[in-house]
Structure 1
Amino acid sequence: MTDTVIFDTIDFIQNFITVTATAYPNVLACDPPYDVDFTGGSPAPPISFWDFNDGTTSSLNNPTHTFTDTGFFNVMYVAIDSSTCNVADTTYLTVDINQSKEFSATLDFVPPPPCGTDTMFVNLDFTGTGADSLAWDMGDGTIYFDTTISHYYTVPGIYTISLYAIDTICDKSETINNTVVFLGNDVSEITVPNVFTPNEDGDNDEVSFDGVDPEAQYSWTIFNRWGKKVFESTDSGQAWDGTNMFNSNQLKAGIYYYELIYKDQCADEEHVIPGYIHLMR
């Protein structure tokens, strides 16, 4: 009789299921009391446990907690599931609550004289407190991010300098604007034609003067040969068309006399220029 041995194979498949603690956010903030909305595991484990490191705890998966004091808090979150192999898993978050500093945006700035040079230099210093980010907009397309600024303008104009001061941690900001006027070395050089022909042919029908600084103070007066005023203007863009501006009558051909008075912005002296214009028809 022969013994018979029977062999069989059994496969064992093991699934190792674990619970994982995931949580957020980490927080950097200012000025308690400060509320933080915490988010625990997803999907939520059967049991959640939070220790906020300030003497308080929570068993909610997504609690909202109020930190009433300043300080640095290591917040612990534990996800618990007894049906898993590891039963529990732990992670930590940080909450840093600061007392905000006094915040003010001030600057030290003395506008330079507007006239007399081809280049204007401007120096600015931030003298405020509590800002951790600065931006200077110089009004000509230039941006700086430093505390002390030196900048120069080469094109005459009126520029608005804007300082943006920001406390990024405590979410505070302020803007300061200053105006700089740069006139350069503009000096009027007057040119007035002495003949014009107002016959409505579209050619040389009006007479005007060129070369006066647009920002200068000026007046232009025209008289007939007997000294009677026939035209006057303080607008450099206004031309004379050969009519009497006080009654709109066309004036006869002849010699007319003018007096141009102006004062440049960059000079205190008033200039008086006399001359004549030959009106031809």
Structure 2
Amino acid sequence: MIKKILPIIVLVMMFSEVIAQPYSLKSTGGAKAFRLNIYYGTEGKGGFVQYRGQQGIIPLKVKSHRQQGKTGYSKTTYVWDEVYDGKLTGSYGLTQEADKLSGAWYKRNKDGRQFQLEHVADQDAHTGIDKYLLHGVLISFYHTTDELLLFSYPDGSTKTSQLPGFDQPGPRRQGSIADYNFDGYDDVAFSIPDAGMGVYRTFDIFLYSPKSKRFQILAEPNDSKANCSGLCDVTLDQKNKLLMTSCRGGATWWKDVYRFSNTNKLVWVSSGKQQ
């Protein structure tokens, strides 16, 4: 939210129906079909599969991630290694075109057999629930209006949080995985359209601590020199280890730049108009 200038524009948002994650898949061409759900986040990270009728989950390790074409009309192909009891037991591949699933397969290592997979309707896609598996922690959240966020840790403990709610019905919550504090460990973030006109997204970022093996929310910056309030349209400068936020007031886009302190606090660096 802009601190110093109130937005005066109106945004009309239109949404097209796409196949939502997680994907529920069924094998084809075999004598006995099997079903599974596949979950993953940014660039295929945080992935795992869960087979229908089984309680356990199988972690996926990104082997390759390739994107072709322009944003909105791109073709993205993911390949993961299946890791079961610490061993590579197979691999999965999945291709999205314009946010729709166009192909998927599973290859079993023990006999080299490859199974083609097709998308089937599943309740999770309608309820909006999604999950990531990151550093052994199962993270559950909703793309829709449910604000529950659940961290399930390997030692059996859990922690629940409430994510900010939508100002207007319709928009979807987005999850993203990145190393937001540049410590070599991926973190997780969730964003929704801003509570004003919806021209940018506001973020809640949860940093992973390798020492405590827990996720903790990143405190929002509160510097009087900043133009934007909170964490808006967050981007990262990996080379210089800077976190940037941007927001809009009137016809002007503003940008604030921060660095991280040794205690994972955001320290203001500079502010100005977005170029």
Between Structure 1 and Structure 2, the one with more strand by share is: 2
TM bin, normalised by shorter chain, reads under 0.3
TM-score normalised by L of structure 2: 0.19
Larger-gyration structure (1/2): 1
Does 1 or 2 have the higher relative contact order (CA < 8 Å, sep 6+)?
2
